[in-house]
Amino acid sequence: MSNFLNIEFPKFSMLLNPLALLSATPTAVIVAPAVEIQSVAYILGVLFIADLITGLCASYFVWKEKTPKGKWFFRANEENIPEEQKGFSSDKFKKCWFKGIIYGLFPLVVFEFQETFFIKALKLETITDSEINITVICLLIFCANELFSIFWENLPKCGVNVPKGIRDLILGVRKLTDKED
């Protein structure tokens, strides 16, 4: 027991001096919120799957228009068939997964580059209140590419032309407001 009492305990003189306590307390730093990369990657993943599904549907609708009845959609290995009559092929499937690998690896490389060279995030106050780093910008460009692919390439081939519908709606409203004036 006497050995235990001989142990020296630190003296907390800092707690007795309020000025010393104030200097040891870290000051609060106001940090702008940053966009979460995981959330943007999740959105990109959903858009990628939606593009895959709408691309497959668009391929089917184009194939159905150009192919005689009684043929199968999965007959890409036959020789002397025009490209639009081949339907689903393993080459198209490989390209899809190659795009997925690029979407997955390129942001990781950009993120490591940004972390290695201490590149700061951008603050675009006219667009958003949060900070956006280069990785998020790359992911946003990929999301925009997927949205373009879905709405301007795939869905019109399926018979659903959303951009044309929006344009026609705006022109129709504009004509109605012009007639009222």
* 171, two tokens: 């022109």
Length of the chain: 181
- CA–CA distance, 4 with 6 (Å, rounded to integer): 5
- CA–CA distance, 162 with 58 (Å, rounded to integer): 14
Q: Quick check: is 9 in a domain?
A: no
140-173: pLDDT as tens digits: 999 999 999 999 999 999 999 999 999 998 988 8
Q: Quick check: is 95 in a domain?
A: yes
Residue 88 pLDDT exceeds 70:
yes
23-82: pLDDT as tens digits: 555 555 556 577 888 899 999 999 999 999 999 999 888 888 887 776 777 665 566 666
Q: Quick check: is 8 in a domain?
A: no
The residue range of the domain holding 92 is 34-176
Q: Quick check: is 1 in a domain?
A: no
Q: Quick check: is 137 in a domain?
A: yes
Higher-pLDDT residue of 8, 118: 118
| Amino acid of residue 155 | L
Q: Quick check: is 159 in a domain?
A: yes
106 forms beta bridges with none
Q: Quick check: is 24 in a domain?
A: no
The model's pTM is: 0.72
Higher-pLDDT residue of 76, 124: 124
Total of domains in the chain = 1
Residue 58: exposure state from Cβ atoms within 10 A (0-12, 13-18, ≥19): buried
Q: Quick check: is 89 in a domain?
A: yes
